[in-house]
Amino acid sequence: MVWLLTAHFAAAALAPLLVRWWGRNAFLALALVPAATTGWALAQALGVVAGTPVGVRIPWAPEYHLTLAFRMDTLSLVMTLIAAGIGTLILVYCARYFTDDEPGLGRFAGVLTGFAGAMVGLVLADDLIQLYVYWELTTVFSYLLIGHYTERRDSRRAAALAINVTTLGGLAMLVGLIMLGEAAGTYLISELLADPPGGPLTTVALALVLVGALSKSAILPFSLWLPSAMQAPTPVSGYLHAAAMVKAGVYLVARLTPGFGDLAVWQYTTLAFGTVTMVAAGWKALRQNDLKLLLAYGTVSQLGFLTAVLGAGTRDAALAGLAMLCAHAVFKAPLFLVVGIIDHSTGTRDLRELSGLRRSMPAVFWTSVLALASMAGLPPMAGFAAKEAVFGAFEHSGSPVLLVALVGLVVGSVFTVGYSLRFLWGAFFDKPDVPPTPVHPPAPLFVAPALLLGLLGLVGGPASSLLDPVLAAYADTVPWNAGNDPAHLALWHGFNLPLLLSALCLAGGLALFRWRTAVAWAGARFALPDAAAVYRRIVYYIVSFATQVTGATQRGSLPIYLGTILVTLVAASALPIIQGRLWTLEAPPVRWWDTPVQFIPAAVIVAAALWALMARGRLFAVVLAGMTGYGTATLFALQGAPDLALTQFLVETVSLVVFVLVLRRLPPRFSTPVLRTRRVLNLLIGAATGLLVASMAYFALAGRRAETISGGYPAAAEEAGGHNIISVLLVDVRAWDTMGEISVLASVAAGVASLLFVRRRTRRLRAPAVPGRLSVPVSSATGSAQTDGEWSPLPLGVAENIVTVRAEAKPLWLPGVLALSQERRSIIFEVVARLLFPVILVLSVFLLVTGHSSVGGGFAGGIVAGLGLMVRYLAGGRHELYLTLGLQPGVLIGLGMTITTGTALAGAVFGTEILAGGAYDLHLPFMEPVHLTSALAFDFGVYMLVVGLIQDILYSLGSGIDEQMERERQAGRAPQSEEVTA
């Protein structure tokens, strides 16, 4: 069962490929999937009808009572046969309806196959939530299919209309389904029906479910979307809007009637809305000139009929309803297919222009006669047997409500006969003043599906007594039958009221046809308000309201948005503080300080933070922000957190340098401050929020109820062989956090680089790998660069636009400085940088290796190594930076990610789970045994990634900006910052 569904979706995914290979004949291959489903359902049929449903239950999310439950009982069997069987024929039909060069055919084939799968899933689902998922899937697929002609505005509008209306209903239904599931304590439909809940809540739930069902099945007042959905290609109309999707609502009614059919809300709603829809839509069908629209209104009318009968709640009505459902699928689908053939062969669907098709397309004509006879309820068709059963069931019920409804159904059936005749006459007969329509004859495979369905309708009538036990297996689950003996399906019941009513319908229909012009005039004269216009007005008002609300609330100002958020935060938190009279509670004892030494960094932080608010110079603000950072680091050190202190110090230093690198491009001062009132307001908001958050932090510790979860960490660290608990936490116990963190860093690197080099990255970062040899890329406009004396490389070999510097002849402390101008060089800085670099690297590796047992770790080590790079860049300029490592930052970052991910996966391969640790003691001569752990490898990955990140930042915000400034200087434009200084 699950496999068949999966096959549908797999075929849907493959469909575009198949269409590319085989053109329209790919539909024949795709048809195999629903065909297999049909075959499977038939193979199960005997057992299912005998009373043993096929089912499978896979736990999905048991804590939410969610199950992947499928169950095929008789009703599902019938629906599966309709959905998959007609789906097969429709796909075959598609293979001739379309041409190979139809635009978007691959997508169409995929969506249509996917729809067939969703429909099968819908009728097989035994779980309310799962049912809803398939329900909405059919909605989405239907949207895509109606909007197939994406370039047509009408097509797009019709698709949007359909999805708006059905999703509205679907959402109401979801609420109803959840209420039902919660009331019943189970979401399994079979269990729900076995023991249906009651009470007012159930009534509300059922009303909501009915909103969904009625909107899906295009019952008034939701019926407007179905006629406009006729914008879709005809196979879609024949499948979705006649045989399959619109039946979903009817199916849901049929599915729930055994449990709730005796409730007034269920019975009266379905009867009233169904009957009114049948009459109103039938009346409208009588005056349509477009054959497809005629069928569309006819379909709405028939759906009303089915809803009324299946919702009536008696056993006999359920039997008749299910018979009618089958008959309708078998006659309505071929009629749509016939319209498609006519449209294809003549180029029109307007019955005023068609003439003489009876002779030129005999096969199509006889197919239509069969289907129309079944629709009109003529013997010996399936439609006749079903309609007789309906009349009989309503007559025998003895309920006055059902008798009133019966009157409506008879009137509706009169209209059905009327528009059936109108279709037959309009499509095929000679019209006196219209010349015979030229016809391009359809291929046999094009007509075959429709003919097959028409013949099924013919066989279905005499065979109805054979089908009776099958359909009765469903009908018998409806308990209430008003004390009558169960009725049976048959072609001949003797002379009785139903036969009289059928004759009445036929006579009435003939009369309507005889005076068809008058009927069409009267219909147009006394038309109901146009639902589409009402819908457009509603949508217009909603959008207009939304525009006004958006315009009024979304002012587009970031400070206002943020301020609103913060004020809301403060107000929402202050409310419980005031209501709960927090100040009356016992106040925790105040502890002024941990150690008096804290005063110094705290004072520095407070002063710097407050000063930063007023600072007007950018560089000064950076220094102040940095002071808050160093102050924080000092507090960490005093607070017994050496790891934090170390990392904070290092990070703060890198940040400072990076800020300065960027700020050299920006104006030295911030622009004029905003209005004084606004500033005071911002100050108030900031102070209030800060006070709130800090007091939360203050009381949080006092309000603590549970023990810390870190009690077992020292033992875990011991087990992992590390002495530094923090480090063990990062690389072992909570290594997933670290994985996430370094992924953030990798994306930061990518983000920073792309922000700087979004135009020209590939050429920019080609650093030479040969040490001692410097390739200086020269941008194409730099012919003048060598003359303006900004930088004067020594020995030159110009090849293309690469200047190659050979440094072997004259060893330099930092070879990259060759590209710097003389006044920017500082020999002492160069010497110090060169000498310091190896020391810094050794220090960084030391921090990396000792991280597990003492203060340090991959992060700290990586940042230290990055600082080494930074020093070389600052001393030697950007070419020195390119030369230092000879590796692209991307390579380092990628290697780092690979190592960490590899270590993590190795834990799964060699150990017990992802990120499981391992250890190995390496014994080298003359040395202490080295304790190698997988955590060290993990940390090494982190180390490389951090080095790569800092290198990347230097490439981007350092040398990237260098280059931009050089280019601007060459272009004769002074950098912005200098202008502003003056």
Partner 1 sequence: MSTPSFLLVVTVAVLYSSGFYLLLQRSLMRVVFGILILGHAANLSLLLTDVAITLPPLLGGREGEMSDPLPHAMALTAIVITFGVTTFLLALAYRVWLGDENDEVPDDLEDRRISSLTEPEDSS
**What sections of 761-888 are H helices per DSSP?**
827-850, 858-885
* CA–CA separation, 263 and 284 (whole Å): 32
Q: Residue 885 to residues 29, 75, 646, 880: CA-CA distances in angstroms?
A: 58, 72, 25, 9
Binding string to partner 1 for residues 128 to 167, with x set by CB under 8 A, is what? Answer: -------------------------x--xx--x-------
Which of these, 157, 205, 163, 210, lies nearest to 181 by C-alpha position? 205
Residue 665 as a binder of partner 1 (CB under 8 A): the answer is: yes
Burial label, 482 (beta-carbon count in 10 A; 0-12, 13-18, 19+): middle
Cβ-based nearer residue to partner 1, 167 or 598: 598
> Closer to partner 1 at the Cβ: 244 or 953?
953
Q: Find the Cα–Cα–Cα–Cα dihedral 260, 265, 271, 276, rounded to 10°.
A: -150
Q: Which of residues 580-599 bind partner 1 (CB under 8 A)?
A: 586, 588-595, 598-599
E-strand ranges in 812-911 read none
Segment lying near partner 1 (by CB under 8 A), choices 198-206, 329-337, 387-395, 627-635: 627-635
Residues 606, 794, 908, 930: which binds partner 1 (CB under 8 A)?
606
Give residue for tokens 């939701």: 222
**Options 263-271, 380-388, 409-417, 730-738: segment touching partner 1 (CB under 8 A):** 730-738
**Stretch in the footprint of partner 1 (CB under 8 A) among 21-29, 376-384, 463-471, 707-715:** 707-715
Element housing 263 (H / E) = none
Least Å from the CB of residue 658 to partner 1: 6
Residues in 709-728 at the binding interface with partner 1, rule: CB under 8 A: 709-710, 713-714, 717-718, 722-726
Residue 964 beta carbon to partner 1: minimum distance, rounded to whole angstroms: 8
Residue from the set 203, 689, 792, 970 that interacts with partner 1 by CB under 8 A: 689
Q: What letter would DSSP give residue 436?
A: P
The token pair at 208 is 């909501």
Binding residue for partner 1, selected from 102, 182, 741, 962, defined by CB under 8 A: 741
Smallest gap from Cβ 505 to partner 1, in A, equals: 41
SS3 102: coil
The yes or no reply on residue 625 touching partner 1 (CB under 8 A) is: yes
- Contacts (CB under 8 A) with partner 1, residues 958-977: 961, 964, 976
Distance of CA 955 to the CA centre of its chain: 38
Q: State the minimum distance, in angstroms, from the CB of residue 351 to partner 1.
A: 29
Closest CA to 764 of 954, 966, 963, 971: 963
Q: Out of 201, 543, 769, 798, which residue is the one contacting partner 1 (CB under 8 A)?
A: 543
**Should residue 655 be labelled a site residue for partner 1 when binding is judged by CB under 8 A?**
yes
Q: Does 694 bind partner 1 (CB under 8 A)?
A: yes
CA–CA gap between residue 870 and residue 657 (Å, rounded): 8
For the chain, the first-to-last Cα distance in angstroms comes to 79
- In the bound state with partner 1, the residue whose beta carbon lies nearer, of 434 and 613, is 613
d(CA 371, CA 416): 13
- For 307, the 3-state DSSP assignment is helix
User: In the set 693, 839, 908, 919, which binds partner 1 (CB under 8 A)?
Assistant: 693
Query: Residue 350 or 737: which CB sits closer to partner 1?
Result: 737
Report the candidate in 334, 357, 508 with the shortest Cα–Cα distance to residue 426.
357
Q: Which is nearer to partner 1, 366 or 713 (CB)?
A: 713
The verdict on whether omega for the bond into residue 221 sits within 30 degrees of 0, i.e. cis, is: yes
Q: Is the dihedral of CA 741, 743, 749, 753 positive or negative?
A: negative
Rg of the chain (C-alpha set): 40
Tell me the closest approach of the beta carbon of residue 591 to partner 1, in angstroms: 6
Residue 514 is a binding residue for partner 1 (CB under 8 A): no
Residue 296 contacts residue 227 (beta carbons within 8 Å) = yes
Residues 244 and 303: beta-carbon distance below 8 Å: no
Rounded CA-CA distance 63/488 in Å is 45
Q: Which of 572, 675, 701, 706 binds partner 1 (CB under 8 A)?
A: 701
Q: Judged by CB under 8 A, which of 482, 577, 666, 932 binds partner 1?
A: 666
Q: Residue 564 interacts with partner 1 (CB under 8 A)?
A: no
The correct pick among 356, 642, 668, 777 for binding partner 1 (CB under 8 A) is: 642
- Span interacting with partner 1, options 287-295, 408-416, 740-748, 925-933, rule CB under 8 A: 740-748
At residue 355, what is the residue type?
A: S
Which one of residues 491, 602, 841, 965 is an interface residue with partner 1 (CB under 8 A)? 602
Give the separation between CA 703 and CA 718, rounded to whole angstroms: 31
Q: Return the residues of window 742-801 that contact partner 1 according to CB under 8 A.
A: 744-745, 748, 751-752, 755-756
Q: Which listed residue (245, 308, 730, 840) binds partner 1 by CB under 8 A?
A: 730
| Distance, CA of 647 to CA of 858 (rounded, Å) | 10
Three-state secondary structure of 35-101: HHHHHHHHHHHHHHHCCCCEEEEEEEEHHHCEEEEEEECHHHHHHHHHHHHHHHHHHHHHHHHCCCC
Residue with smaller CB distance to partner 1, 323 or 946: 946
Backbone angles phi, psi at 195, to 5 degrees: -140, 75
SS3 387: helix
Judged by DSSP in three states, 394 sits in helix
Which region among 72-80, 222-230, 244-252, 644-652 touches partner 1 (by CB under 8 A)? 644-652
Residues near partner 1 (CB under 8 A), total = 122
- Answer for the pair 158, 229: CB distance below 8 angstroms, yes or no: yes
Exposed / middle / buried, residue 125 (Cβ in 10 Å: 0-12, 13-18, 19+): buried
Contact stretch for partner 1 (CB under 8 A) within 193-201, 243-251, 500-508, 545-553: 545-553
Q: Give the DSSP H/E element, type plus range, for residue 933.
A: strand 930-933
Tell which positions 877-896 bind partner 1, by CB under 8 A: none
In the complex with partner 1, which residue's Cβ is closer, 605 or 774?
605
CA–chain centroid gap for 914, Å, is 29
Of the two residues 556 and 929, which places its CB atom closer to partner 1 in the complex?
Answer: 556
Least Å distance, CB 894 to partner 1, is 17
Reading the block at residue 362, the tokens are: 């005999």
The interface mask with partner 1, positions 667-686, x = CB under 8 A, is ---xx--x-------xx-xx
- CA–CA distance, 223 with 303 (Å, rounded to integer): 10
Interface stretch with partner 1, choices 63-71, 96-104, 706-714, 811-819 (CB under 8 A): 706-714
Largest CA distance in the chain: 120
What the block records as the tokens of 822 is 């003389």
Site string for partner 1, 918-957 (x = CB under 8 A): -------------------------------x---x--xx
By CB under 8 A, is residue 605 in contact with partner 1? yes
Smallest distance from partner 1 to CB 974, Å: 13
Please identify, among the stretches 254-262, 369-377, 448-456, 699-707, the one whose residues bind partner 1 according to the rule CB under 8 A.
699-707
Nearest CB to partner 1, comparing residues 530 and 737: 737
Site residues (CB under 8 A) for partner 1, limited to 827-856: 854-855
Closer residue to partner 1, CB minimum distance, 386 or 881? 881
CB of 646 to partner 1, least distance (A): 10
We find the least distance from the C-beta atom of residue 662 to partner 1, in angstroms, to be: 5
What is the DSSP code string of 133-194?
HHHHHHHHHHHHHHTTSTT-HHHHHHHHHHHHHHHHHHHHHHHHHHHHHHHHT--BHHHHHH
Task: Give the length of the chain.
Answer: 982
